[in-house]
Amino acid sequence: MQDSSFSSPATPATPAASRPALILASSSRYRRELLERLRIPFQTTVPAIDETPLAGETPEATALRLAAAKARAVAAALPATAGRTLVIGSDQVATFDGHQIGKPGTHERALAQLQSMRGREVLFHSALSLLDTATGQTDTVDVVTKVRFRDLPDAALDAYLRAEQPYDCAGSAKSEGLGIALLEAIESDDPTALIGLPLIALTRMLLAAGYPLLEAQ
């Protein structure tokens, strides 16, 4: 199911006919907004997959499996007449005390998440997959971000949640917004990974696939 499309305000000089199509296999507005930073044309398509973790599966394995599965599902649904297409799949799994942390969905569950994590370190596995339909090859990577939460009182946590309502975010805090006030430290090789789409890894993959990113506008 196609969700939306985006065309960059500044189109690269490379003729459109020579560029492969680019699809973001995601329903996340956060990933879409991150990809828009690259100023390249792309479409978004919502992949129809079961995102339930498998029994005994590690958080890293879950994130990598789902990122690749999203890309494959969207690629498989493309018409036979579609030309070369690069499909981006991404998934994020947060883990704390050996347990996977999902999206809270409600204020009460978000508050419980933040209460359990205050003063503690949480690992975020942000997996990325780039599938090239011309070759069938898939490039995948897991970017790990370590986040240490501040030890804040319940009143502060509750006030934050009511202000930003991050109920669709694993970990119940938006580091790109007011949620940064809840964090003591962030350790990562890619500052965009925590938001949901590791752009440093993605641009490496796109350049390796021959997709033009840095040509004169």
Catalytic residue numbers?
91
Distance CA 134, CA 111 (A): 46
- Joined together, the tokens standing for residue 79 give 């018409």
Judge contact between 166 and 172, C-beta under 8 A. yes
Distance CA 134, CA 86 (A): 9
Judge contact between 147 and 201, C-beta under 8 A. no
Q: Which amino acid is at 22?
A: L
For 124, phi then psi, to 5°, come to -115, 120
Half-sphere exposure of 29 (CA within 13 A, CB side): 3
Q: Which amino acid is at 200?
A: I
Strand, coil or helix: what is 120? coil
Q: Which amino acid is at 171?
A: G
What element of type H or E holds 148?
Answer: strand 138-149
